[in-house]
Amino acid sequence: VRAAFAHTGLPSLADDTGLAVDALGGAPGVCSSRYAGENVSYTDNVRKLLQEMKNIPQKQRTARFATVAAFTDGSREITEEGILEGLITFDPSGSDGFGYDPIFYIPEKNATLAQLELSEKNKISHRARALQKIVEQLRREKVI
């Protein structure tokens, strides 16, 4: 976010997300987009994760998406985290979304992220939660 602000001189917002799977000690974590290696597809990453978890029972397939969002306008920096808890499925399901969405099951919704309508996903997502916290902070500071 600092680089974007330095380059543009405009208020800037950035975020990054990782998937943490408890049975894998928090992996893939910060390496989520490169889990199966450099220059791989989302399908490659999902395939590797499912292969590593093939013998893990359902109750032990807990995971969470974590997003950290950052904002700066040159006079302040704000960072916030958003978390979405779920379970890793045994097989992909759903065609919306990207990345690990087809194998990230949300029990309260009885669906994977890839099975949810985009509007529903945007209401509950880890990214939405982090960004909402930034918006709330900017409102408290009367910036917006």
Q: Which of the following is catalytic: 16, 22, 44, 96?
A: 16
Which is it for strands 111-112 and 104-106: parallel, antiparallel or unpaired? Answer: antiparallel
- In sequence order, the 6+-apart residues with CB closer than 8 A to the CB of 55 are none
Q: Is 22 a catalytic residue?
A: no
DSSP, residue by residue, 21-39 = EGGGTT-EETTGGGTT-TT
Active site residues: 16
